[in-house]
Structure 1
């Protein structure tokens, strides 16, 4: 693992983790560390994430923002039982390499899933969990499979690895980090297809898996203080029911109502679909959770 001595204007650093570079930055000058993780395949620079990081830093914490592998400027990484398993392994090594553990993990949507799995698999790294917009249910998990795996599977089967390079997610990774073109082309068609099929399997709804690709029994030993901000009443991507089920799985966890409107995700999704998302993004409301998060962490 190597750290770049160079700082960009935005305060970014790079560190080599598991054979790939991870881009990160730290917001705040002192206090306990919070690893704040975005959702989707969005980078740390997705609108809405930094205001939350700054609010938490203003509350006395240092916040690590990072481009997860396959997001933003970090290198592509393709290994593990699922994409979240891969990111949990990378985050474990990242926390160790930076010497910031054990620390608080906080994240929404895919970031909540990555944070939960990290806490389950590497409990020595985590002191507290803060989770919101937790994905679950048939609709939510099928959407994830459709978005994250199916385009790549269809591309590699139809046009080989050159076709994979044209898939929106991978094209964005290459545009942000040109090294990713070569990293993807290191895989044969069969290798890449097998990984994508394995990752797709995590998003097939199964009995005993409230969280995609994670057996409920794995929560049995999870014993860190946890705050859950429940999903909106009609949010099909992050169902209220899933939040309640996760509260049952994590012993002693606390569940609160969302500090943003119940239909915040639906309205943001509509704005994006209609091309009106400028100035109103999926994560714009997240900063509204800062007071509740700080209250929980400061107890």
Structure 2
């Protein structure tokens, strides 16, 4: 797969669909790679619908190189995506993403309005439980590892070891950063997850979200989805003037049921996402 150097690190990407199709960049959640079996069907369906779809391995995901700059991991990813779109000559584009990708997409649209034709988001993370859960999953274990075993302890963690295996140059990048540099980055990123007034999207000031002027479609989150609270999706809708707040194409408890099946080894938590393809295609082709 092609890779390009962005902000000092290699970013691997792939372009799907017709070369003359309207460009759309799809950003997945978690630290999932661009070929994640749960989200890739959505990318393929959008490409089959005539869009030129960019999927990419964000820094610290898949086969891209690790990076640790910015006030939060999502700020780093947004800065990377903006630079990637400019390097590929793709802007303005439809920016779309779910879960963690929703946060990355919102930030990209706010920071790079000139690159944003339209914005589509679903299942944004927010609220006390969701934010604290993300901190406990993505940041705190790494802080514990570096405090106990230095940068070598970090590189032995399964999540970081997998990135070194996928892109061997990541080993030297960890060594160059060192334990102190990694610890400082994790503490900085941890702060972004602490719930704060006037931040419906964790780590992102409401005032910045309000600057988004591109036509925006927000899928309502499911009732009882503690990982992606309904309130956060509604708050985001109220912050983006003129945004469309639409019903989700999946069942009310789709996230919970998909996550349960994933724990049983019967799929992934992102399997329902492909159901959003028709609605996204209609919004993108307006």
* Correspondence for 1:282: 269
Q: Calculate the aligned-residue CA RMSD, in Å.
A: 1.0
Cα displacement (A) at 1:264: 1.2
Q: Which residue of 2 aligns with 1:265?
A: 255
Query: Deviations along 1:181-231, whole A, 9 cap, x unmatched?
Result: 111111122211111000000000111110010011112221010111111
> Structure 1 CA distance, aligned partners of 2:94 and 2:56?
14
Counterpart in the other structure of 2:9: 20
C-alpha contact (below 8 Å) 1:41/1:169 kept by paired residues: no
Structure-1 separation of matches of 2:52 and 2:103 = 22
| TM-score computed with the length of structure 1 as normaliser | 0.93
Alignment counterpart, residue 242 of structure 1, candidates 229, 232, 238: 232
Answer with 160-169 or 68-77: which moved more: 160-169
C-alpha distance in 2, partners of 1:220/1:112? 15
Query: Aligned equivalents of 2:170 and 2:69: distance in 1?
Result: 15
Q: Distance in 2 between matches of 1:168 and 1:188?
A: 18
3-state SS in 1 of match to 2:26: strand
Counterpart of 1:68 in structure 2 is 58
SS in 2 for 1:186: helix
Q: How far did 1:79 drift?
A: 0.4
Q: Which residue of 1 aligns with 2:86?
A: 96
User: Is the contact made by 1:59 and 1:294 (CA closer than 8 Å) also made in structure 2?
Assistant: yes
Equivalent pair of 2:33/2:57 in contact (CA under 8 Å): yes
What is the CA-CA distance between 1:147 and the residue it aligns to?
1.1
Task: Report the Cα distance in structure 2 between the residues aligned to 1:83 and 1:119, rounded to whole angstroms.
Answer: 16
TM-score in terms of structure 2 length: 0.97
Counterpart in 2 of 1:210? 200
> Mean alpha-carbon deviation: is it higher for 146-155 or for 183-192?
183-192
Q: Which runs of 5+ in 2 are unaligned?
A: none
Q: For residues 140 and 258 of structure 1, what CA distance do their matches in structure 2 show? A: 20
Aligned pairs for 1:1-299 within 5 A: 12-29=1-18, 30-273=20-263, 276-278=264-266, 280-299=267-286
Aligned length: 285
What is the alpha-carbon distance in structure 1 between the residues aligned to residue 271 and residue 91 of structure 2?
Answer: 28
